[in-house]
A and B are shown apart, each in its own frame.
Chain A
Amino acid sequence: MLKELGRGLWTTFKSMVFDPVVTVQYPEEKKRVTPRFRGRHVLKRYDNGLEKCIACSLCAAACPSDAIFVEASANTDEKRFSPGERYASTYEINMLRCIYCGFCEDACPTEAIVLGDNFELSFTDRRDAIYPKEMLLESVADAAQTTPQKTSAGEFTRSVPEMKDASD
């Protein structure tokens, strides 16, 4: 009996003195997220700066909690946001409804919407829960690539990039 009691005491004492502390001091040090982490959504762009999103609303249809709202408008060559006929003039995600399942990623035909690595989504007003397109869209490297762009006619007629055979 005394031996068991002593062993218990030694176990806790050992963990106090020798074991390293596992706590992460969060705002100062942040843990890396895993590669397949599903954080806040990001709307991607092509290399030339055009938005990948073509406002097909498949993400909104796939969303199990109905968190996504997409409104489409027509592209012109004068004011082109994305390849093809349509672009998302409104793209809103309600972060209070989103369950971060990643179905929107799977549904997207152009791989425009991706769940990123940002998990710091706190806000103090309920209205701030709705993230508009400006907050979701990926930033561009230089100012010339901001949408809308002026493009030559007939250059971007396909809304979905042409499928190539897998090279590997």
Chain B
Amino acid sequence: MDYTMWIEWVIKGFIMIFAVLTGFAYLTLYERRALAKIQVRIGPNRAGWQGLLQPVADAVKLIFKEELTPSTADKLIFFIAPIVTVVPAMIIAAVIPLGTSFILPFTNRVITLYVADINVGVLYLTAIASIAVYGIVLAGWSSNNKYALLGGMRSTAQMISYEIALGLCIVIAIILGDSMRLIDIVNQQTGMWFAVIQPVGALIFMIATLAEVNRAPFDMPEAEQELTAGYHAEYSGMKFALFFMAEYEKMIVICMIAATLYFGGYREFWFLKDTIFSVDRYPLLGPVYLLLKVVVLLFFMIWIRATWPRIRYDRLMAFGWKVLLPLSLAVVFITAVGVVMADQFGPIYIWIIPVLSIGAGLFAALLVNNSLRRKVAHA
């Protein structure tokens, strides 16, 4: 292992962190503009061309804002909690492959387009994603404020509940990809995206990620109307900015994970496999494809936020435990059966997976529909 290796890793790590931070800044602008467009407004368009400098203005404002620490707060934990929240959101991006590899011009050095290639990359994702819960619950507890505590508790309960469905959906990708290495999973999707083979799994994954990053309609921990902003009620200035940053970075990262596990990652569309749009032909197209997929997935998150109201907390829990968990278990079972049958009787049997899982998904929707129907009193 020579020293150039270290230099390469450090540079790639910096680029990754920088990309996630810049992505966070522009995601706030993207969200504000998209929400504004949905609400037939224009949105921020004053700072710079089309408002492109708005994130800079926001950052400067937040840095210079006064920072308050409640006198009865647990000072040390109050200080650590935002850091514990924001760091996992950034380092989780390390294992996500952005592309294959390319040869650095003027040298014969091969640069791979990912920071780390861990053979249990999926395990790393789930492990790091769970750490962020600590930051939120510690923030809620150390603020010494009942609303913050309630927000932190809600958040923890919600994230732990939905992590199970999320984990089972990751299991589906592992079964289909036959590996826990994210690069193998992506390469398995050259022929067909897993979202096409297992649409219900992709859907459950997206729903669970909404709960995992506390986005509407599952933004119960930050319900302004009930909890005055929840776990970060007592935070201000840059500490608040860190929570904000963590939330949006998690959105980006989780969309990158969803794209990697279900939507072909850095690969092109499966029907462009052998054309000039292929990543194999131009390796630098990889990050571009991933960015496009992330932008589209983020738009869905924003769109859902603009449309659906927040669901009640008991229903959120009931939905997580009574609907998503059994459904994802069934879908994992169907996937495993389909993979085994394709193995035994020929690849055409892989299509048993979408048929059966869509059936299971519709059955679950029917049951939810029936349970939500207003009960008619018997005369």
Residues of A within 8 A of B (CB): 1-2, 5, 8-9, 11-13, 15-16, 19-23, 25
**What are 21 of the A-B contact pairs (CB < 8 Å)?**
A1-B365, A1-B369, A2-B365, A5-B308, A8-B307, A8-B308, A9-B304, A9-B307, A11-B307, A12-B38, A12-B303, A12-B306, A15-B38, A15-B39, A16-B34, A16-B37, A19-B40, A21-B42, A22-B40, A23-B42, A25-B42
Q: Is B59 in contact with chain A by the CB < 8 A criterion?
A: no
Q: Which 8 A-B pairs have the closest CB atoms?
A: A1-B369, A23-B42, A16-B38, A12-B307, A19-B40, A8-B307, A16-B37, A12-B38
B42 touches A13 (CB 8 A): no
Known: A1-B365, A1-B369, A2-B365. A22 touches B41 (CB 8 A): yes
In chain A, what residue has the closest Cβ to B308? A8
CA distance A11 to B372 in the complex (A): 22
A1 touches B368 (CB 8 A): yes
Residues of B within 8 A of A (CB): 34, 37-42, 303-304, 306-308, 365, 368-369, 372
Quote the shortest CB–CB distance from B36 to chain A (angstroms).
8
Q: Which of A5, A8, A21 contacts B40 (CB 8 A)?
A: A21
CA distance A19 to B39 in the complex (A): 9
Q: Which of B40, B304, B369 contacts A15 (CB 8 A)?
A: B40
In chain A, what residue has the closest Cβ to B369? A1
In chain B, what residue has the closest Cβ to A25? B42
Among A11, A12, A19, A20, max chain B CB count under 10 A is at A12
CA distance A32 to B251 in the complex (A): 43
Q: Note all chain A residues with C-beta closer than 8 A to B34.
A: 16
B372 touches A1 (CB 8 A): yes
Quote the shortest CB–CB distance from A129 to chain B (angstroms).
27
Quote the shortest CB–CB distance from A8 to chain B (angstroms).
5
CA distance A11 to B308 in the complex (A): 11
A21 touches B308 (CB 8 A): no
CA distance A15 to B37 in the complex (A): 8
CA distance A77 to B191 in the complex (A): 100
Q: Note all chain B residues with C-beta closer than 8 A to A11.
A: 307
CA distance A8 to B216 in the complex (A): 14
Q: Note all chain B residues with C-beta closer than 8 A to A8.
A: 307-308
Q: Note all chain A residues with C-beta closer than 8 A to B369.
A: 1-2
CA distance A8 to B304 in the complex (A): 9
In chain A, what residue has the closest Cβ to B368? A1
Contacts A16-B37, A16-B38, A23-B40 given; 18 further ones with Cβ under 8 A?
A1-B365, A1-B369, A2-B369, A5-B308, A8-B307, A9-B304, A9-B307, A11-B307, A12-B306, A13-B38, A13-B303, A15-B40, A16-B34, A19-B40, A20-B40, A21-B41, A22-B40, A22-B41
Quote the shortest CB–CB distance from A146 to chain B (angstroms).
42
Q: Note all chain B residues with C-beta closer than 8 A to A15.
A: 38-40
Q: Note all chain B residues with C-beta closer than 8 A to A19.
A: 40
CA distance A21 to B212 in the complex (A): 33
Quote the shortest CB–CB distance from B281 to chain A (angstroms).
34
CA distance A13 to B308 in the complex (A): 12
CA distance A22 to B42 in the complex (A): 8
CA distance A8 to B108 in the complex (A): 54
Q: Note all chain B residues with C-beta closer than 8 A to A9.
A: 303-304, 307
Q: Note all chain B residues with C-beta closer than 8 A to A23.
A: 40-42
Quote the shortest CB–CB distance from A23 to chain B (angstroms).
4
Q: Note all chain A residues with C-beta closer than 8 A to B37.
A: 16, 21
Q: Note all chain B residues with C-beta closer than 8 A to A16.
A: 34, 37-38
Q: Note all chain A residues with C-beta closer than 8 A to B42.
A: 21, 23, 25
Quote the shortest CB–CB distance from B109 to chain A (angstroms).
46
Quote the shortest CB–CB distance from B164 to chain A (angstroms).
23
CA distance A45 to B369 in the complex (A): 73
Quote the shortest CB–CB distance from A14 to chain B (angstroms).
10
CA distance A33 to B34 in the complex (A): 30
Q: Note all chain A residues with C-beta closer than 8 A to B304.
A: 9
CA distance A5 to B39 in the complex (A): 18
Quote the shortest CB–CB distance from A29 to chain B (angstroms).
12
Quote the shortest CB–CB distance from A1 to chain B (angstroms).
4
CA distance A13 to B303 in the complex (A): 8
In chain A, what residue has the closest Cβ to B362? A2
CA distance A148 to B310 in the complex (A): 69
CA distance A21 to B369 in the complex (A): 36
Q: Note all chain A residues with C-beta closer than 8 A to B365.
A: 1-2
In chain A, what residue has the closest Cβ to B306? A12
Q: Note all chain A residues with C-beta closer than 8 A to B303.
A: 9, 12-13
Q: Note all chain B residues with C-beta closer than 8 A to A25.
A: 42
In chain A, what residue has the closest Cβ to B37? A16
In chain A, what residue has the closest Cβ to B43? A23
CA distance A9 to B306 in the complex (A): 9
Quote the shortest CB–CB distance from B26 to chain A (angstroms).
19
Quote the shortest CB–CB distance from B102 to chain A (angstroms).
38
